[in-house]
């Protein structure tokens, strides 16, 4: 049985230092800079989790170790596998809805270093509790991952990281089309809108997702 180890050889660390400074996500039209905090804010079913899975899949497929700080137990390993994530390269930390444990866990991870991505999934945490978290946490995270290959990806319902994030994006659902009548309807199409709060990526970007259903 494969085991995750956080102890890396010198050759492995030297290899990671040769990674590109930018992580390109073609499907989303985004580039993420290593050693930075990137926040994705948006409501349910706006693509936040899909983007996070795409990041984890790309990095774990290349052998990098990643971590998921799962604040409310919403991470689904089966969906992750279907998205291409290599679970043997992923450290999954379940925090049971405890805000303090969530941020302490992230603090330990940024101190450990060596992760390709640390995904903090804060979706589902109460807004009032998140507002009580000192902004100094985010600046401490940013300082500790600076000049490392780590991307700290934060997904949340509303803007949380303040000015500590290098990339700050908002995902919104603009249009949804269903087929059928009554209680049993099929989702046929939805349109998403993505824009940067910091204005680095120009005009808002829109994408369309279409579904097709057929019996096997």
Winning range, highest mean pLDDT, from 26-35, 103-112, 164-173: 103-112
Pick 210 or 101 by higher pLDDT. Answer: 101
CA–CA distance, 45 with 38 (Å, rounded to integer): 19
Tell me which residue has tokens 């059928």: 180
CA–CA distance, 192 with 174 (Å, rounded to integer): 6
Count of C-beta atoms within a 10 Å radius of residue 205: 15
Output the average pLDDT for the chain. Answer: 82
Taking only the tens place, the pLDDT of each residue in 127-179 is 888 888 999 999 999 999 988 899 999 999 988 998 899 888 888 877 777 78
Per-residue pLDDT, averaged over 29-51, amounts to 87
Domain parsing of the chain, residue ranges: 20-175
Structure confidence at residue 22 (pLDDT): 74
pLDDT band at 191 (very low <50, low <70, confident <90, very high): confident
Taking only the tens place, the pLDDT of each residue in 44-84 is 888 889 899 999 999 999 999 999 999 999 999 999 999 99
- Beta-strand pair 167-179/205-210: unpaired
Q: Dihedral sign, CA of 22, 67, 40, 36?
A: negative
Angle between helices 99-112 and 136-145 (to 10 degrees): 20
Give the pair of three-digit tokens for residue 116: 């390709």
Give the pair of three-digit tokens for residue 1: 């049985």
Structure confidence at residue 201 (pLDDT): 45
CA–CA distance, 22 with 18 (Å, rounded to integer): 11
Q: Is the pTM of this model over 0.75?
A: yes
33-65 as b/e, with b when 16 or more CB fall inside 10 Å? Answer: ebbbbbbbbbeeebbbbbbbbbbbbbbbeeebb
Instruction: Answer whether residue 112 shows pLDDT above 80.
Output: yes
Q: Which CATH superfamily is domain 20-175 in?
A: P-loop containing nucleotide triphosphate hydrolases (3.40.50.300)
């Amino acid at each position: 049985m494969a085991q995750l180890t956080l102890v890396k050889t010198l050759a492995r660390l030297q290899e990671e230092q040769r990674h590109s400074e930018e992580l390109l996500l073609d499907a989303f039209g985004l580039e993420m800079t290593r050693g930075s905090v990137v926040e994705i804010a948006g409501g349910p079913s706006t693509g936040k989790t899909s983007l996070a899975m795409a990041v984890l899949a790309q990095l774990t497929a290349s052998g990098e170790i990643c971590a998921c700080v799962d604040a409310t137990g919403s991470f689904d390993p089966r969906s992750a596998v279907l998205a291409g994530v290599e679970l043997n390269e992923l450290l999954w930390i379940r925090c049971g809805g405890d805000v303090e444990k969530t941020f302490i866990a992230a603090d330990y991870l940024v101190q450990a270093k060596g992760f390709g991505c640390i995904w903090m999934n804060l979706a589902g945490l109460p807004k009032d509790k998140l507002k009580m978290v000192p902004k100094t946490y985010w600046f401490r995270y940013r300082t500790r991952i600076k000049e490392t290959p780590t991307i700290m990806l934060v997904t949340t319902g509303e803007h949380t990281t303040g000015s500590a994030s290098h990339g700050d994006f908002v995902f919104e659902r603009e249009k949804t089309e269903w087929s059928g009548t009554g209680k049993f309807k099929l989702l046929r199409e939805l349109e998403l809108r993505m824009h940067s709060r910091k204005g680095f990526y120009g005009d808002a970007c829109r994408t369309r997702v279409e579904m097709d259903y057929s019996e096997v």
